[in-house]
Amino acid sequence: MLVDMEPADIAGLAREAEAKLAKGMALTERERLALLARLLIAQPTRQERKYGQA
Amino acid sequence: MTGPVLVILPHNPGDVVMALQAIRRVKARHPGLEVDYLVGEECRDLALGNPLLRKVFVIPKRDLKALWEGGDSEGVLARLGAFLAEMAATRYALSANLFQERWGGLLQGMVNSDRKIGLELAEASRFQVRSRWLEHLFAIPAHRAGNCLHVVDIYARAISQALGGGSESSLRRAENAASLLPMLLRPNACKNLAPETYLAFHPGSAWAGKRWPEAHWAGLADRCAAAGFTLAFTGAPEDRPMMDRIAASLAPRTRAALVDCVGRTSLPGAAWVYAHARMLISGDTVAMHLAAAAGIRTLSLFGASNPVETGPYGKGHVIIQTDANPLPDLAFDSEHAGLRHLRAEEVAAYVLDGEPPPGFRMWETGWDESRKAQGLFDAQRLPYPHPAIALALARVLDAQEALPGSPVPVDRPDGLRGRLRTCLDKCIGQPLDENLAVLTAIEKELEEETRADLIWEAYRIAVNGLPWGDLRAHLILRKARLESALEEEALTRHADPIA
């Protein structure tokens, strides 16, 4: 699983970002980037789900 | 508004082709409009060099993954930040996020654009969908069969409206098929294919629920080869084992007539194969969209998906629909019984002799001038779904820059909708906890009643994204959105001659 290889700093920032989003709080630039990176990289596209990671 | 415009729809290949079709429609209305595009790496070949687009941003996912797998957090953030900075260097008049996943909304929040439509993580850190057309798009999974418009028409209308072009009445049908795709080069695997002499087959799909059984493809191939056709098969590299099984079961004569391009072409290469074929036969796949984009006739075998919504876009494409009740969500993962029941000889009878398969619904795509959108027509040229439904819906959604100023009749003052309206008025006047609790209870009751209703699902999506910072302002916007949903419901129900 790709997400298992997630760098610890990004995991921490992304968790922080999710918690803030749940409370309707604004994110810092780094939190936005970390969350975007996590969603972009760790979540396979529909094609990747069928065909494996691109 | 004159642009430039950024369109975000990075995946999947079929969706990218449909976004390009929408851009073509919009550009037919705004010929000088400059459009940039954000695309994923696996779809880059469809966007790079495309004459419709000025600049293409390719998400550097491979680079990011390499850094990610190396544990380089700062490297990931720096690379992603640099990519976004490059995109933010252009100030857009409009960015249209047609992508329905969450990270598209995050990304849309970072675009430098005067106006944004689609999913966005806004300043208040709430995801919201701007544009009534795109709210409608997001609500479609709640009631797939209730959607009466093709997604290309939904995309085009959303962008056109945001550009200030008014309603769709000013949008024309775009005819020039040649301008939709990048230059198509003949793949090496197809060097012996003589144009206009062969049938193209695309048996694969990312979804099991969209695949016609392999044995049926073999049966169709044998019949077409016996009738003298050369057959060109296309597919992704991962379709290779499936293609080998199909090829192994073909009659010797069919194998001699086979040109096997599976896994041997790029997407534009596959489009070349379709563009020079007599006809493409496929499921609801990227091949169907590429062939339609290339202006070639298609025969599409639909299982779980809805041809109204994602059928081939353009005139004269034929669809065999094996299921009158499309699935309520995107769960197309299991084999489809309707497709299994559609036999090879029935499809062959249509391909070779024009005989429709008995017991299945069959449509031909066409342009419905009255509503400026694609429609499906049966053998008697009767449109499906009824155009009045789409007309009424379009009237409301096209008008939705300004929210309606006057209340519309609700069923009864003591009915669910009437109670919701009264309660919202009360909350706006006195936003007390007890009033808000009643509001929540009524909305829950309404959700129970309208769980699979497109209009109310769009209402819930919109309400979910309304800012909460100022409670009274939130409630006023919520009331306005309620009035709009009520108007939409009244018009649509009134227009539905079947209901």
pLDDT at position B208, please?
85
- State how far residue B62 is from chain A, nearest Cα, in angstroms: 8
Overall size of chain A counted in residues: 54
Residue B365: in which H helix or E strand, if any?
A: strand B361-368
Under the banding of pLDDT at 50, 70 and 90, the label for residue B331 is low
- Chain A CA closest to residue B332: A46
Those residues with Cβ within 8 angstroms of residue B204's Cβ, 6 or more apart along the chain or in another chain: B211, B235, B236, B238, B239, B242, B243, B262, B285
C-beta atoms of A37 and B80 within 8 A: yes
> How high is the mean pLDDT of chain B?
88
State the amino acid at position B7 in one-letter form: V
> Which positions in chain B touch A8 (Cβ < 8 Å)?
71, 73
Tell me if residue B7 falls in helix, strand or coil: strand
Cα dihedral angle (B201, B206, B210, B215), rounded to 10 degrees?
A: 50
State the amino acid at position B420 in one-letter form: L
Distance CA B434, CA B437 (A): 5
Q: What is the per-residue DSSP string for B286-304? A: HHHHHHHHTT--EEEEESS
Tell me if residue B111 falls in helix, strand or coil: coil
pLDDT at position B166, please?
56
Handedness of CA B25, B31, B35, B40 (dihedral sign): positive
Helices (H) and strands (E) in chain A, counts: 3, 0
Mean pLDDT of B18-47: 93
Mean pLDDT of B224-235: 97
C-beta atoms of A32 and B72 within 8 A: no
Give pLDDT tens digits for B255-271.
Answer: 999 999 999 999 999 99
Whether residue B352 lies within 8 A of chain A, CB to CB, comes out as no
- Distance between terminal CA atoms of chain B? 40
Distance CA B55, CA B40 (A): 14
Distance CA A6, CA A38 (A): 8
C-beta atoms of A45 and B103 within 8 A: no
For residue B154, the tally of other CB atoms under 10 A from its CB is: 24
Distance CA B483, CA B372 (A): 26
Residue B130: in which H helix or E strand, if any?
A: strand B127-130
> For residues B263-288, b (16+ Cβ closer than 10 Å) or e, as one string?
ebbebbbbbbbbbbbebbbbbbbbbb
- State how far residue B492 is from chain A, nearest Cα, in angstroms: 33
Specify the pTM: 0.90
Under the banding of pLDDT at 50, 70 and 90, the label for residue A30 is very high
Q: Tell me which of A40-54, B72-86, B441-455 is least confident.
A: A40-54
**Residue A20 corresponds to which tokens in the numbers above?**
């803030």
C-beta atoms of A32 and B236 within 8 A: no
The interface predicted TM-score (ipTM) is 0.82
C-beta atoms of B124 and A26 within 8 A: yes
Distance CA B24, CA B432 (A): 50
Whether residue B334 lies within 8 A of chain A, CB to CB, comes out as no
- State how far residue B331 is from chain A, nearest Cα, in angstroms: 12
C-beta atoms of A2 and B65 within 8 A: yes
- State how far residue B87 is from chain A, nearest Cα, in angstroms: 14
Those residues with Cβ within 8 angstroms of residue B78's Cβ, 6 or more apart along the chain or in another chain: none
> Which positions in chain A touch B125 (Cβ < 8 Å)?
20-21, 24-27
Percent of chain B with pLDDT over 70: 91
Residue B94: in which H helix or E strand, if any?
A: strand B94-97
Q: In this structure, what are the phi and psi dihedrals at residue B141, rounded to the nearest 5 degrees?
A: -60, -20
> Which positions in chain A touch B41 (Cβ < 8 Å)?
54
- State how far residue A25 is from chain B, nearest Cα, in angstroms: 6
For residue B36, the tally of other CB atoms under 10 A from its CB is: 20
Beta bridge partners of B39: B58
Under the banding of pLDDT at 50, 70 and 90, the label for residue B40 is very high
**Residue B284 corresponds to which tokens in the numbers above?**
């609801």
Say yes or no to pLDDT of B171 above 50: no
Distance CA B115, CA B419 (A): 35
pLDDT at position B334, please?
76
